[in-house]
Amino acid sequence: MVRAAVLPAVGSPLEITGIRLPEPGPGQVRVRLAAAGVCHSDLSLSNGTMRVPVPAVLGHEGAGTVVSVGEGVTHVAPGDGVVLNWAPSCGKCHHCSLGEVWLCADALTGAGAVYAVTEDGTELHPGLNVAAFAEETVVAANCVLPVPDGVPLTDAALLGCAVLTGYGAVHHSARVREGETVVVLGVGGVGLATLQSARIAGASTVIAVDVSQEKEALARSAGATEYVVASDTTVRQIRGLTGGQGADVAIECVGRADTIRTAWDATRRGGRTTVVGIGGKDQRVTFNALELFHWGRTLAGCVYGNCDPARDLPVLAEHIRAGRLDLSTLVTERIGLDGIPAAFDTMLAGKGGRALVVFPAGASSADQATRTAIPG
């Protein structure tokens, strides 16, 4: 029996309760969680903006230690530190054949399966495949990747969503070039990772935009050179900071129609606007045909940072080891499972960066395993 945060129904409060996990079957891995990030996507799943089968254990950004493996699993073994990959690619569908593994047609098929039961026998689904809001989980083998040497698991959890998404938005979707100006709308966990990634890419001016003045110090610590409190003059302020032209690149990390429209309007003629935030179906953005022609901008969606985790995790690890990427600056609160509902409220209020659920037993043993793997 392990403790988990269970979503009994869409719109219902999370329930912290005991669940029973099976032993891993063929092609499966059991993981003891060290840490799990509380992402806005988890909030979107809980309130129905995004749909998953329920009852479910949410949480998709996590890392931990392998407890046991099923038949046929060879790339990890008990005791290994792993990052959970909530969107594994099948390698066979049309998108995977094109190298677009982040768009894999079968990435979320595991979310529809029953993976555990509650104490009374109620069947549970793994929200976004990995069910990281639990002390332990059982996942498909392609949902785990070895943690790169030198990255403690409590930090590595952030690699599973926020950092891959922010890094990929900058380097794969927007393709920020050295010397360009970048504006990032939304200074949550993904926004903070995006700011750091823009700095790593060599952006000359990095403008952070958020509704809260309180986030300015956090944004600047992540690499923002300028900070704008969102208002009806946001676009005018950004133009003032970019010589009247607008930013070369705008990256929206909120998922609202008004902020997407602001990102578009804040981008220079011929610039690139990338939408990372996940909005609801009722969030509609409108453009007229003439402005699309006149401004010559590019508007692109961005799924999971357009990343291939197997390719990008080693690159991120090198940035971490070199001190260019500081995962600890993304975390504004460390909590237990009981703190997840309050973390949701904090996100709804537009406050904080990334709340990190830390599992003491898993973190201590997993980080020790990681430390012993570091050469020297």
Residue 165 lies in a domain: no
Cα distance between residue 298 and residue 269, in whole Å: 9
Provide the 3-class DSSP secondary structure of residue 369.
helix
One domain for residues 99 and 247:
no
Helix axes of 257-265 and 234-241: crossing angle, nearest 10 degrees: 30
Q: What is the CATH number of the domain that holds 279?
A: 3.40.50.720
One domain for residues 8 and 156:
yes
Residue 168 lies in a domain: no
Q: What is the model's pLDDT at position 351?
A: 84
One domain for residues 276 and 150:
no
Q: What is the model's pLDDT at position 205?
A: 97
One domain for residues 214 and 317:
no
Residue 152 lies in a domain: yes
Q: Report the number of distinct structural domains present in the chain.
A: 2
Residue 169 lies in a domain: no
Residue 18 lies in a domain: yes
Whether the pLDDT of residue 227 is over 90: the answer is: yes
> Which residues are CB-neighbours of 320 under 8 A, at least 6 positions away?
148, 150, 151, 155, 326, 327
Q: Which helix (H) or strand (E) holds 69?
A: strand 61-69
Residue 28 lies in a domain: yes
Whether the pLDDT of residue 69 is over 90: the answer is: yes
One domain for residues 325 and 239:
no
Rg of the Cα atoms in the chain: 20
One domain for residues 32 and 131:
yes
| pLDDT confidence tier of residue 374, bands split at 50, 70 and 90 | very low
Q: What is the mean pLDDT of residues 85-92?
A: 94
Count CB atoms within 10 A of the CB of residue 258: 12
Whether the pLDDT of residue 375 is over 60: the answer is: no
One domain for residues 325 and 357:
yes
Tokens of 335: 């909590």
Which of 301, 331, 357 is the C-terminal boundary of a domain? Answer: 301
Tokens of 272: 């690139």
Q: What is the model's pLDDT at position 302?
A: 97
One domain for residues 200 and 132:
no
One domain for residues 151 and 198:
no
Residue 351 lies in a domain: yes
Residue 101 lies in a domain: yes
Whether the pLDDT of residue 119 is over 80: the answer is: yes
Which of 259, 275, 301 is the C-terminal boundary of a domain? Answer: 301
Residue span of the structural domain in which 19 resides: 2-160+306-372
One domain for residues 110 and 183:
no
Which of 286, 301, 316 is the C-terminal boundary of a domain? Answer: 301
One domain for residues 16 and 156:
yes
Q: What is the CATH number of the domain that holds 21?
A: 3.90.180.10
The candidate with the shortest Cα–Cα distance to 35, out of 92, 83, 73, 96, is 83
pTM: 0.92
Whether the pLDDT of residue 264 is over 80: the answer is: yes
One domain for residues 134 and 198:
no
